[in-house]
Structure 1
Amino acid sequence: MSTDLTLNEQKAAARKAAFARRKAAHAAAGPGQAGHLSEVLAGYRGVPIAGYMPIRTEISPLAAMAEAAAYGPVGVPVIQGEAMPLKFSRWEPEGALRDGPFGAKVPEVDDFFEPEIVIVPLVGFDLKGGRLGYGGGFYDRTLELLRSHRATLAIGFAFEEQMAEALPLEATDQPLDMMITQNRVIEFS
């Protein structure tokens, strides 16, 4: 019997380790987590942006999203179904929300648009632009679709502690263009 782990087993192990690091970082986090994200988004005023409604121990982009919403459309993901790309519905800081799949809130009324910048939640990341998500492939499918229409900037947003030396990735995993943590901005070529 081989001791080599399959790619799925490697991803599961990497996710488990990253979730543990994220949980500890979330517990220790202070204010101003989205400061660097706000600084980057300020350079894209008016460009349609998609953020996300944080769940569990995800770092919160809400402060940066609220600032960006004063200048242009900001949306949040709405899951359409298993193995389908996400759609993004316009979000307002004080707008009415309803429960969406997986515990994330979504706007009460759907007002879909295509973002040119997507702030991507994640479980783990590396310094090559690799991203490990939850395993459903929603963001990979979505980024692939958006990038087939126009240049789309994918910005990972996570706690610094979620960084991994290397991640088990597949050809279908969409790369990040930039990674932002509570501590810094990392641009990938």
Structure 2
Amino acid sequence: MTLEERKAAARKAAFAARKAAFEARLPGQAGRLSEILAGHRGVPLSGYMAIRTEIDPLAAMAEASAYGPVGVPVIDGPGLPLSFSVWEPDCEMTDGPFGARIPSAGMAMVPEILIVPLVAFSRSGGRLGYGGGFYDRTLERLRAKRPTLAIGFAFAGQEMDDLPLEDTDQPLDLIVTEREIIEP
């Protein structure tokens, strides 16, 4: 089986696990994420607007916005790193590529912390995304300029032992689930 076939099979299994976790979710799923972000108050960070069955970081993002700039990713095109637009609770939003909402104002920012959505993760800091490479390119670019903290945010049920990874896959520095904080 090729690496791409292994990734496709892993994504299929992970999407099913994420859907089950999403359907069983309880309130307060971003509580542990808020705990981590409290130790980085004022540091520019990017969250994301949850789509489909992703775990929702919105409550933690809103809390962090009281202390410093918070942004969300903007997809500028295939094969490009993400850019980031300033987000505030209740700001006017518009539809962006792939169904993710983005702020209408479009004021650019550069995060030092990224809350990263994912399809699956491993305890060693591996991340399986959607396959577009957007976060890998973005983290590589940001980390070349300064230390950048990548926090994978997922349901505990999205953990997989043996992720098919490539050399270009950027590692996560922390993984936060609704149950625990994992330091690879």
TM over 0.5: yes
Instruction: Give the match for residue 13 of structure 1.
Output: 9
Stretches of 4+ moved more than 4 A in 1? none
Paired residues in the alignment total 184
Structure 1 stretches lacking a partner, 5+ long = none
Quick one: which of 155, 158, 173 aligns to 1:177? 173
Who is 2:142 aligned against?
146
Q: Distance in 1 between matches of 2:108 and 2:162?
A: 35
Counterparts of residues 29-48 of structure 1 (less than 5 Å): 29-48=25-44
Identity %: 67
Matched, 1:22 2:18: yes
State the AA in 2 paired with 1:120. V
Residue 60 (structure 1) aligns with: 56
Q: Give distance in 1, aligned partners of 2:61 and 2:183.
A: 20
Task: Please list every run of 5 or more consecutive structure 2 residues that lacks an aligned counterpart in the other structure.
Answer: none
Q: TM-score normalized by structure 1?
A: 0.97
> Residue 109 of structure 2: which of 98, 113, 126 is its match?
113
Distance (Å, rounded) in 2 between the aligned partners of 1:114 and 1:75? 8
What is the RMSD computed on CA atoms of the aligned residues?
0.4
Looking at structure 1, the residues matched to 107 and 126 of structure 2 have their Cα atoms a distance apart, in angstroms, of 31
Q: What is the deviation of 1:109?
A: 1.2
Separation in 2 of the partners of 1:27 and 1:41?
26
2:78 equivalent in structure 1: 82
TM-score by length of 2: 0.99
